[in-house]
């Protein structure tokens, strides 16, 4: 499909001359002799780029530029200026022009500039599309802050929704940085307890005795330093939810006390005699393989089964790479707002690098990567040079990385996806490169949900 370029100039020779030159570059040309005609053409046609003179009768180029930036901000405008009118070009740049060219126009420079402006527009549009998708996802689902459209992530969200309404204990498993904490919050926020407290305890951050009194509370004088009675987290979250993060780290002694809470909903404060009863929903999370820990004797099997009534396993990012682009766009928006920058997209090479990287630190690492890229970025587009070295250097844009441990199907999916990406979505070229028919490619694209 040819892109449409509108050229507006009151001098017939100039607009037609530039038009012919760009026509040879393969564009479709629309011509207008003043701002008003230009605006009309923009309103009635799909225009991808505007090139306009500044001084014209009826409506000037400056006025046209203002109208375009107001109603059509992604449409790039290139300004043509005569000698000695550089100041007006500078004003136009401030008003949102993409760039300017001085007359007489050097046709090679024109050709390059047009190419650059159109490529830039593609990126901006792509980014907008992702932004819309994110907005749609967050409006549609109640997991507002959890971003993800991949099949594995949709399965996770389905279970979250199902289990939220119940009181079942849920063990959330998965590598570090996959979003276990977000999942715990989503369960609480979707439950009937959402207006009650959700208390979080980071079990590995505290020593055994501190954790015990943190969870169950203590009576005054129960140990050195216990100068007053302390209400524990279980008591504090009565009626609500308690989230025990890094549950794999708790000592055998605390495991026994916890088991009793799970079985009988009862416990005593440290050093206390009164038995307290609570109504609590228990969520826990770990990045260890707790089943294996029970086999090794490090974790009580009975406790494991009580915690793990429902298991939600959050898969690592490398197993749901379809989410990378969406997550990256969301983080890009977050950090460019936070840093007061106006970054509108991620270029092709950088996107490929993000896609190819294996993300051992999962979403936390991706998030940090985008924060640093936003800080490093000097233009309005993130390029591969803005990415941390480990991510950009590991990526070879002409290769597909396939980690050990994935199936043939997943490998095929990765190869097809990367080739499609490399060929800018051109299916004919992709089929050719892969040596398969277009029909087969289409079938596989549908099968793997690559649309």
Ligand X SMILES: Nc1ncnc2c1ncn2[C@@H]1O[C@H](COP(=O)(O)OP(=O)(O)OP(=O)(O)O)[C@@H](O)[C@H]1O
For ligand X, which residue of 147, 160, 186, 329 counts as binding (CB under 6 A)? 147
* Cβ atoms of 304 and 290 closer than 8 Å: yes
CB of 159 to ligand X, least distance (A): 14
- Does 175 interact with Mg ion (rule: CB under 5 A)? no
Q: Which residue, 354 or 363, is less far from ligand X as judged by CB?
A: 363
C-alpha span between 395 and 16 (Å, rounded) = 45
- To the nearest 10°, report the CA torsion of 300, 305, 307, 311: 130
Peptide bond connecting 104 to the previous residue in cis, omega within 30 degrees of 0: yes
- Does 103 interact with ligand X (rule: CB under 6 A)? no
| Sole window of 108-116, 181-189, 263-271, 413-421 interacting with Mg ion (rule: CB under 5 A) | 181-189
Q: Which residue, 185 or 318, is less far from Mg ion as judged by CB?
A: 185
| Sole window of 127-135, 177-185, 186-194, 226-234 interacting with ligand X (rule: CB under 6 A) | 177-185
CB of 407 to ligand X, least distance (A): 23
CB of 322 to ligand X, least distance (A): 12
Bridge-based pairing state of the strands 4-8 and 49-53: parallel
What does the radius of gyration of the chain's CA atoms come to, in whole angstroms? Answer: 30
Tokens linked to 113:
């500039």
Q: How many Å is the maximal CA-CA distance in the chain? A: 98
* Cβ atoms of 168 and 191 closer than 8 Å: no
C-alpha span between 60 and 36 (Å, rounded) = 8
> Which residue's CB atom is positioned nearest to ligand X?
179
> Which residue's CB atom is positioned nearest to Mg ion?
181
Which string of DSSP letters, residue by residue, matches 317-340?
GGG-THHHHHHHHHHHHHHHHHTT
CB of 200 to ligand X, least distance (A): 11
- Does 181 interact with Mg ion (rule: CB under 5 A)? yes
In angstroms, the Cα distances linking 17 to 11, 35, 45, 310 are: 10, 19, 22, 71
Q: Which residue, 126 or 185, is less far from Mg ion as judged by CB?
A: 185
Q: How far is CA 226 from the centre of its chain?
A: 46
| Sole window of 179-187, 247-255, 377-385, 409-417 interacting with ligand X (rule: CB under 6 A) | 179-187
Residues numbered 309-368 forming contacts with ligand X, rule: CB under 6 A: 327, 363-364, 367
For ligand X, which residue of 72, 131, 176, 372 counts as binding (CB under 6 A)? 176
Q: Which residues bind Mg ion (CB under 5 A)?
A: 181
Q: Which residues bind ligand X (CB under 6 A)?
A: 145-148, 174, 176-182, 287, 327, 363-364, 367
């Amino acid at each position: 499909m040819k892109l449409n370029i509108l050229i507006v100039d009151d001098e017939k020779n100039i607009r037609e001359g530039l038009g012919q030159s760009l026509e040879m570059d393969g564009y479709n040309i629309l011509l207008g002799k003043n701002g008003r005609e230009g605006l009309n053409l923009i309103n009635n046609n799909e225009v991808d780029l505007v090139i306009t003179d500044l001084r014209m009768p009826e409506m000037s180029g400056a006025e046209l530029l203002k109208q375009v930036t107001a109603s059509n901000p992604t449409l790039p405008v290139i300004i043509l200026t005569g000698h000695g009118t550089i100041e007006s070009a500078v004003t136009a740049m401030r008003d949102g022009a993409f760039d300017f060219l001085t007359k007489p126009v050097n046709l090679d420079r024109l050709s390059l500039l047009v190419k650059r402006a159109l490529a830039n527009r593609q990126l901006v549009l792509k980014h907008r599309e992702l932004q819309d998708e994110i907005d749609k996802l967050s409006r549609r689902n109640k997991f507002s802050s959890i971003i993800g459209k991949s099949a594995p992530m949709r399965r996770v969200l389905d279970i979250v929704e199902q289990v939220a309404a119940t009181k079942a204990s849920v063990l959330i498993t998965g590598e570090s940085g996959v979003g276990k904490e977000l999942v715990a919050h989503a369960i609480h926020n979707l439950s009937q307890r959402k207006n009650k407290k959700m208390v979080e305890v980071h079990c590995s951050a505290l020593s055994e005795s501190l954790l015990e009194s943190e969870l169950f509370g203590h009576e005054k004088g129960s140990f050195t330093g216990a100068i007053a009675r302390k209400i524990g987290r279980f008591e504090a979250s009565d009626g609500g939810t308690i989230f025990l993060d890094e549950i794999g780290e708790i000592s055998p002694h605390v495991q026994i006390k916890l088991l009793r809470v799970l079985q009988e909903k009862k416990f005593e404060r440290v050093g206390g005699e009164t038995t307290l009863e609570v109504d609590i929903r228990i969520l826990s999370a770990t990045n260890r393989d707790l089943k294996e820990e029970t086999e090794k004797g490090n974790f009580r099997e009975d406790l494991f089964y009580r915690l793990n009534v429902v298991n939600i396993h959050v898969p690592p990012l490398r197993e749901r790479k379809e989410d990378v682009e969406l997550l990256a766009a969301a983080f890009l928006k977050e950090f460019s707002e936070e840093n007061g920058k106006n970054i509108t997209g991620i270029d092709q090479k950088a996107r490929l690098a993000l896609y190819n990287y294996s993300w051992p630190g999962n979403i936390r690492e991706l998030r940090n990567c985008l924060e640093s890229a936003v800080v490093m970025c000097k233009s309005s587009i993130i390029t591969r040079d803005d990415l941390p070295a480990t991510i950009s250097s590991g990526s070879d844009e002409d290769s597909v990385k396939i980690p050990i441990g994935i199936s043939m199907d997943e490998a095929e999916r990765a190869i097809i996806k990367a080739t499609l990406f490399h060929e800018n979505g051109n299916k004919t070229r992709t089929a050719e490169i892969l040596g398969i028919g277009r029909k087969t490619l289409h079938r596989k694209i549908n099968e793997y949900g690559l649309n």
